[in-house]
Amino acid sequence: MKRIKRKLIPLLALASFSSTPVSAAALADLYRMALDNDPQLKAAEARYLAGQEAGTQGLAQLLPQINAGGSYTHSNDGFRDQSADDSAWQVSLVQPVFDTAKWFGYRKSQLISEQTALQFDLDQQQLIQRTVDAYLGVLRAMSTLDTAQAQERALQRRLEQVNAQFEVGVIAITDVQEAQASFDNAVVQRIDAEGALTNSYEALERLAGQRFTAVDLLREDYPIEPITPADPAPWLDKARGGNLALKLSELGIETSRRDSQIARAGHHPRVNLEANYGYSESEFNNRPWDDNSSVALTLSMPLFSGGATSSQVREAQQNLYAAQYEREDRYRAVTEQTRSLLRDLQTSVQSVKARMQSIKSRETALRATEEGFNVGTRNVVDVLQAEQALYQARLDYATARLNHVSTLFRFKQQLGTLNPDDLLALDEWLQSSATAQ
């Protein structure tokens, strides 16, 4: 799989932001700002870069270790009334020849680097998902507020109509009270919706590091279409082969297996090539200086460590079992979630169509109820309930469309295919609120 980071570089190159707040943004703009400002992504990148050092450190254990040291000593002989200066220095080299623990440690370090790279891929996918979810959260809040405002205006007109009819004695005071109560409740809903919209913008500011007061809207002709094929089998195969969280759990097994090998290596012999060269001077010796050098092939064989090595082997083996169980759980979770998301996508298409039809039915029902109210066969409560049902149907329809988009992105992340191109494709279906009006 190609690293998503390679796809982000062109977007970062296009991004040029000021520190001043912006009033409106499309989804692509928000994503570019998130790439540059999101602290979660910055932390993920730092962890990725830190993890890439594991391979270098693992390889270093197999390479020669060279050390140098020296000393200077000034001494006095009180009996002889003499003093002298001694100096010495030494250079040593140790090259592992046979050390299974260090070899398996090196292999583990390669896995760690691969894990951190894969985790960074997952973090970048999660940034895309968080960006889309935050943006859709604002759109949901805007739909809720628009519906609440429209309902408030409609109920205000209804209240004025009922008051006028009451003044001429056509209806009872209870109808006025019912209309007033419904209007007051609509005002409360509108106030709550305004607060929820403000809160939703806070999520955008957290991502981008800048304030927003408006976003582009999802076009009405955005296609709500079923996923093909409907059979979950090919999607399950794709998810099991591409899901990044599942891949991470598989790497976790390999890492634990290396830990087990490292622990068992505690019972193995070690062979090192050691070379030393030293130089010393002493005024007490007849020779003013002395140097020595040596080359040796050393063998060390652990015999007994108080049971610590065997305990470490057992610990590593149990950790390997745990990693295998965790991978199996992740495998089952991927299977369950892929099926569920595919089912949600299929049902959401039907739900959107049904809710569109529900709006038409509610409009017809409201007109019929109003006619009945005008001729005296229905009361104002029936009218108010019909109006509330109509606005709820409109809100449910708008919410269902946005939920379908969110589910589609989560489905792609589940498959492991989510990338910036998906976000940019959605951005093409957005339009400014001025254009929408």
Is pLDDT of 14 > 60? no
- For position 106, what pLDDT does the model report? 95
Burial of 27 (0-12, 13-18, 19+ CB in 10 A): buried
Q: Write out 404-433 in H/E/C secondary structure.
A: HHHHHHHHHHHHCCCCHHHHHHHHCCEECH
Q: What is the CA radius of gyration of the chain?
A: 36
Query: Tens digits of per-residue pLDDT, 155-210?
Result: 999 899 889 988 888 888 998 999 899 999 999 999 999 999 999 999 999 999 99
- For position 16, what pLDDT does the model report? 38
Distance CA 365, CA 390 (A): 9
Place of tokens 């628009």: 146
Is pLDDT of 395 > 70? yes
Structure-model confidence comparison of residues 255 and 375, the more confident one: 255
Q: Is omega for the bond preceding 229 within 30 degrees of 0, making it cis?
A: yes
Query: Tens digits of per-residue pLDDT, 417-429?
Result: 999 999 999 999 9
Distance CA 294, CA 277 (A): 7
Structure-model confidence comparison of residues 18 and 431, the more confident one: 431
Is pLDDT of 408 > 50? yes
Query: Which neighbouring-strand residues pair with 409?
Result: none
- List CB contacts of 377: < 8 A, sequence separation 6 or more: none
Helix 380-415 and helix 420-427: axis angle, to 10°?
A: 150
Is pLDDT of 80 > 70? no
- For position 172, what pLDDT does the model report? 87
Query: Tens digits of per-residue pLDDT, 215-242?
Result: 999 999 999 999 999 999 999 999 999 9
Burial of 206 (0-12, 13-18, 19+ CB in 10 A): middle
What average pLDDT does range 376-389 have in this prediction? 90
Helix 39-51 and helix 53-60: axis angle, to 10°?
A: 20
Confidence category of residue 374, pLDDT binned at 50, 70, 90: confident
Is pLDDT of 116 > 70? yes
- List CB contacts of 134: < 8 A, sequence separation 6 or more: 30, 200, 203, 204, 206, 207
Distance CA 254, CA 107 (A): 10
Place of tokens 């002989």: 77
Question: Which tokens go with 245?
Answer: 């969280």
- For position 13, what pLDDT does the model report? 36
**For 19-28, 89-98, 102-111, which range has the lowest pLDDT when averaged over its residues?**
19-28
Helix 100-167 and helix 420-427: axis angle, to 10°?
A: 20
Query: Tens digits of per-residue pLDDT, 278-299?
Result: 988 776 555 566 788 999 999 9
Distance CA 276, CA 289 (A): 17
- For position 271, what pLDDT does the model report? 95
Distance CA 27, CA 36 (A): 15
Helix 173-208 and helix 100-167: axis angle, to 10°?
A: 150
Q: Which stretch of DSSP H or E encloses residue 271?
A: strand 270-282
Is pLDDT of 98 > 50? yes
Q: Which of 404, 396, 398 lies closest to 426 in space, CA to CA?
A: 404
pTM of the model: 0.85
Question: Which tokens go with 206?
Answer: 């957290």
> DSSP H helical segments within 297-419, as ranges?
308-375, 380-415
- For position 215, what pLDDT does the model report? 92
Is pLDDT of 17 > 60? no
Question: Which tokens go with 421?
Answer: 């191109």
Mean pLDDT of the chain: 89
Distance CA 216, CA 423 (A): 14
- For position 379, what pLDDT does the model report? 87
Query: Tens digits of per-residue pLDDT, 48-68?
Result: 999 999 999 999 999 999 999
- List CB contacts of 355: < 8 A, sequence separation 6 or more: 393, 396, 397, 400
Place of tokens 């001729």: 375
* Cα 153 from chain centroid (whole Å): 41
Query: Tens digits of per-residue pLDDT, 299-333?
Result: 999 998 899 999 999 999 999 999 999 999 999 99
Is pLDDT of 360 > 50? yes
| CB of 147 closer than 8 Å to CB of 29 | no
What average pLDDT does range 328-357 have in this prediction? 96
